[in-house]
Structure 1
Amino acid sequence: MRLSVIDHPLVAHKLTALRDASTDSPTFRRLADELVTLLAYEATREVRVEPHPVRTPVAPTTGVRLTSPKPIVVPILRAGLGMLDGMVRLLPTAEVGFLGMIRDETTLQATTYANRLPDDLSGRQCYVLDPMLATGGTLVAAVRYLLDRGADDVTALCLLAAPEGLEVVRSAFDEHAHVSVVTAAVDERLDEQGYIVPGLGDAGDRLYGVV
């Protein structure tokens, strides 16, 4: 597993505003959208491209374009939806799939309750969107789900990560060179309820309200 923590002043600035308990949901959604686009630049550093001839107004040249099969973006419902627009803004031709996963608040184990993904992901690069890498259970289950269907490169974008969750992901995919995590920050720890400290609270509730 590879880990990238994005050390950039704009990333830190937007993350600070997201942490603020007084930030309302509309502002939180906008900031999360902007932050994801910044993270996506790093996350897509190794997106696959191929040479492509093009004619400029001056002369012919050779550039690049995304290869086929296209990358697939997979938000984890429901909080991952708040990251989707920021990601597809950078990868507008990517396909989008969905995974519905829920964490049991007693056992902290994640289970899948819905999916909208191709059965065969052979040769696909996948970008998983999950705001909080807390215990790591949800992300491990999601990555395994994709790898089992043939994905050969999975990158997770997370607004925040906890050391405990990173260790769980690292242990699960330590020998898998094509599993990556890109995050804006690694926080101090998890509390007894499995929340990241200092964190930013429940990302889904802050994006969409308590339902």
Structure 2
Amino acid sequence: MSEHVTVVDHPLVQHKLTQMRVKDTPTADFRRLLREIAHLLAYEVMRDLPLEQTRIETPMEPMTAPQIEGKKLVLVSILRAGNGLLDGVLDLVPQARVGHIGLYRDPETLVAVEYYLKVPSDIEDRLVIVVDPMLATANSASAALTRLKEVGARNLKFLCLLAAPEGIETLSREHPDVPIFTASIDDRLDDHGYIRPGLGDAGDRMFGTR
């Protein structure tokens, strides 16, 4: 497996992921669990953010204290399922800029087709964290990263809930400069491009659609 893949195996992450996998977990609980896991994954994906010292005044006295250095983050959600992770990460960094890229997977070819893109104009100056719960074939993720690089993104990370070995292999080959963060690497993809054992379609389970 690629050396730039980080599996966040914290017990709380794994416990909540197991609850999400259960087929009878209600939609409201699924959304809540995804948001909670996003909080925990965000700690890891932002572990190496640079800090700078700034002067502040506490109720007791002035001091020098660390804060995140320079321009802040851009979070880019791959629509629509990415919004579940996006909301959780935004809870921790509400000052982050937000972008969206709309892609759908052609059911016959499994190739990603873009239908929407809106990102901040200064994306080249910011760390860009791309979020999508499922890294399956990686066709959508790879297409999203390619487009973001085309519009200026230079510092990218990819955050997902589940990944298939095939998806990791593809994304690592096509974007070796983009580290991957996930809660689990599952067994395989099936013939329809779904992660096994997985948790089904994350978007459908999040929004209560089929």
Task: Place the TM-score, normalised by the shorter chain, in its bin.
Answer: over 0.9
The equivalent residue for 2:168 is 166
Cα distance in 1, alignment partners of residues 148 and 16 from structure 2: 30
Q: Quick one: which amino acid aligns to residue 190 of structure 1? A: L
Offset of residue 55 of structure 1 = 1.9
CA RMSD, aligned part only? 1.4
Residue number in structure 1 paired with 2:13: 11
How many aligned residue pairs are there?
208
Shift of 1:122: 1.5
Structure 1 gaps of 5+ residues are none
Distance in 1 (CA, whole Å) between partners of 2:179 and 2:195 is 20
Shift of 1:196: 0.2
| Mapping of residues 69-108 of structure 1, within 5 Å | 69-108=71-110
Question: In the aligned structure 2, how far is the partner of 1:68 from the partner of 1:106?
Answer: 44
More off after superposition, 29-38 vs 101-110? 101-110
Conserved 8 A contact 2:98-2:120: no
Q: What's 2:188 paired with?
A: 189
CA displacement at 1:78 relative to structure 2:
0.6
Q: Is the 8 A contact 1:108 1:194 kept in 2?
A: yes
Name 2:66's counterpart in structure 1: 64
Amino acid aligned to 1:22: D
CA–CA distance in 2 between the matches of 1:69 and 1:148?
20
* Greater mean deviation of Cα atoms: 136-145 or 47-56: 47-56
Which residue number corresponds to residue 49 of structure 1?
51
Question: What is the CA distance between 1:119 and its match in structure 2?
Answer: 4.4
Identity across the alignment (%): 46
Q: Equivalent of 2:125, from 114, 123, 126?
A: 123
Deviations 1:70-89 (A, max 9, x none): 21111111111111221001
